[in-house]
Structure 1
Amino acid sequence: MKLRLAPVLLAATIAPALAQSGPNESMQRQACMGDAVRLCGAYIPDRNRIRDCMAAQVDQLSPSCRAVFDASVQAERSPSPRR
């Protein structure tokens, strides 16, 4: 049962942890779930700690996760459009 619940918890925590306005949740989950479990599994389900853990180990992320992670960081830094 715990093994079935882990992917659900991870999916619910990793996507929002990466960014609000960058790549969509599905892209984030697909690209980074394996890395999150491998590198930062001890922090599941704490979104902030997962994000911080992945940021601290960015050189160890898979190429696809690194691309999504970098895009998410860039989206966070970009100023939001004025209305």
Structure 2
Amino acid sequence: MASKLSLTPMKTMIATCLVLAVVGWTAPARAEGKYQVTGIERAACESDAVALCSATYPDEDALLACMRLNVSKLNAGCRPVFIEGLRRRGIPMIDGGAFTIGTHHG
């Protein structure tokens, strides 16, 4: 009997690569990829990157655009981490979300 949610090694590898391409912020060592994605971001957003944006792999810019377009669909663990990454990188949201450059309240 198959489990409801199982990531095969290939899906896990693709998910990891996708998340590595997602927006990152300045963080301790081990950040990877063009956008310097951290382990925290990878853990928070891996499932959303696979579910929403796997067709964009391996194009990091296309993945970022996909995640930005789908920010309202990100899970409760990923969304704030992703938005904070956008803020730290100076990358605006593009789905009409609550955050725009210069409106950080915290």
Question: What TM-score does the superposition give when structure 2 sets the normalisation length?
Answer: 0.61
- Kindly report which structure 2 residues correspond to 1:15-34, keeping only aligned pairs within 5 A, or say none: 15-21=20-26, 25-34=38-47
Query: Separation in 1 of the partners of 2:20 and 2:84?
Result: 13
Over the residues paired in the alignment, what is the CA RMSD in angstroms? Answer: 2.3
Identity within the alignment, %: 26
Runs of 4+ aligned residues of structure 1 deviating over 3 Å after TM superposition are none
Equivalent position of 1:5 in the other structure: 10
1:40 matched to 2:45: no
Contact kept, 8 Å, 1:43 with 1:49, in 2: the verdict is yes
How far 1:16 moved relative to its partner? Answer: 4.0
How far 1:46 moved relative to its partner? Answer: 1.5
**Which runs of 5 or more structure 1 residues have no equivalent in the other structure?**
79-83
**Which runs of 5 or more structure 2 residues have no equivalent in the other structure?**
1-7, 29-36, 91-100, 102-106
- With 17-26 and 60-69 compared, the bigger mean Cα shift is at 17-26
How far 1:10 moved relative to its partner? Answer: 2.8
Query: Separation in 1 of the partners of 2:89 and 2:14?
Result: 24
CA deviations on 1:33-62 (whole Å, 9 max, x unpaired) are: 100111001112221111110100110000
Structure number having the greater helix percentage: 1
How far 1:22 moved relative to its partner? Answer: 5.9
What is the letter of the counterpart of residue 22 of structure 2?
A
CA deviations on 1:54-81 (whole Å, 9 max, x unpaired) are: 1001100001110111110110129xxx
Aligned residue-pair number = 76
Question: What TM-score does the superposition give when structure 1 sets the normalisation length?
Answer: 0.75
